[in-house]
């Protein structure tokens, strides 16, 4: 079963629909025991970093997420869900992220292209991770964001894209995976990425 963490931060239904289209059982939940029992866990998200961290705190989900990671359950952050895994964001100065991964979320520079970035962009794979098995270099995925990741550990960055800056579009470290783009809105490529996630073997 794939648990999709519900913390009032959007796009849970589209993620659920995508997972179920792969023939997998999916459950939108904020119940601690259900999340900890799940075979895979997804943290989706659309919205603001500070508000999202407050919701996770209010619902008692911060320690649950850290427990999931510690017990080696495959964990996937999507969009805002990626950003929350890191230490801090320029969107909410003074607000601590989950700090599971090292790095900061920064604003896309205002240098002639529209911000937020909304639309399709191609991926490059500096370190091809397990999410991208069977995905061609240059594959297009769907982004909606004004802030992007600058990871402190280059070796965890599995996909990048160019939009004014070099954007760290996906990361993998141990059992933790994350995408700045929306695989659930990225057509056949996105479904393949989600399929790779739900079929991960746990060591």
Give, for all 203 residues of the chain, the pLDDT tens digit: 999 999 998 789 999 999 999 999 999 999 999 999 999 999 999 999 999 999 999 999 999 999 999 999 999 999 999 999 999 999 999 999 999 999 999 999 988 889 999 999 999 999 989 999 999 999 999 999 999 999 999 999 999 999 999 999 999 999 999 999 999 999 999 999 999 999 998 76
Q: Which of 16, 24, 172, 184 is catalytic?
A: 184
Is residue 10 in some structural domain? yes
- Structure-token match 């080696």, residue found: 72
In the chain, how many domains are there? 1
d(CA 116, CA 59): 29
In the prediction, which pLDDT does 32 show?
A: 97
What residue numbers bound the domain in which 117 lies?
A: 2-198
In sequence order, what are the residues at sequence separation of 6 or more whose Cβ sits closer than 8 angstroms to the Cβ of residue 124? 137, 138, 159, 160, 161
Is residue 160 in some structural domain? yes
Is residue 135 in some structural domain? yes
Q: Which of 79, 91, 168, 179 is catalytic?
A: 79
Of 115, 136, 138, 132, give the one whose Cα is nearest residue 183.
Answer: 132
CATH of the domain at 24: 3.40.50.880
**Is there a catalytic annotation at residue 79?**
yes
In the prediction, which pLDDT does 10 show?
A: 76
d(CA 194, CA 22): 8
**Is there a catalytic annotation at residue 179?**
no
Of 54, 35, 159, 135, give the one whose Cα is nearest residue 98.
Answer: 54
**Is there a catalytic annotation at residue 184?**
yes
Is residue 84 in some structural domain? yes
Is residue 203 in some structural domain? no
- Structure-token match 């990425």, residue found: 193
**pTM exceeds 0.95:** yes
In the prediction, which pLDDT does 9 show?
A: 84
Is residue 66 in some structural domain? yes
């Amino acid at each position: 079963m794939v648990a999709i963490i519900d913390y009032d931060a959007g796009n849970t239904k589209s993620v659920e629909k995508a997972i179920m289209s792969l023939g997998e059982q999916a459950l939108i939940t904020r119940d601690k025991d259900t999340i900890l029992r799940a075979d895979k866990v997804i943290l989706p998200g659309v919205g603001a970093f500070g508000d999202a961290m407050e919701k996770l705190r209010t619902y008692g989900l911060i320690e649950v997420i850290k427990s999931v990671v510690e017990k080696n359950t495959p964990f996937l952050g999507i969009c805002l869900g990626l950003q929350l895994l890191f230490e801090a964001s320029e969107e909410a100065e003074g607000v601590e992220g989950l700090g599971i991964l090292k790095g900061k979320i920064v604003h896309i520079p205002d240098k002639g292209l529209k911000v937020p970035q909304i639309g399709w962009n191609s991926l490059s794979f500096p370190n091809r991770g397990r999410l991208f098995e069977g995905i061609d270099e240059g594959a297009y995925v769907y982004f909606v964001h004004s802030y992007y990741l600058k990871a402190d550990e280059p070796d965890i960055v599995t996909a990048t894209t160019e939009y004014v800056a070099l954007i760290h579009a996906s990361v993998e470290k141990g059992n933790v995976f994350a995408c700045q783009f929306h695989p659930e809105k990225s057509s056949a490529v996105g479904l393949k990425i989600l399929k790779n996630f739900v079929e991960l073997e746990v060591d």
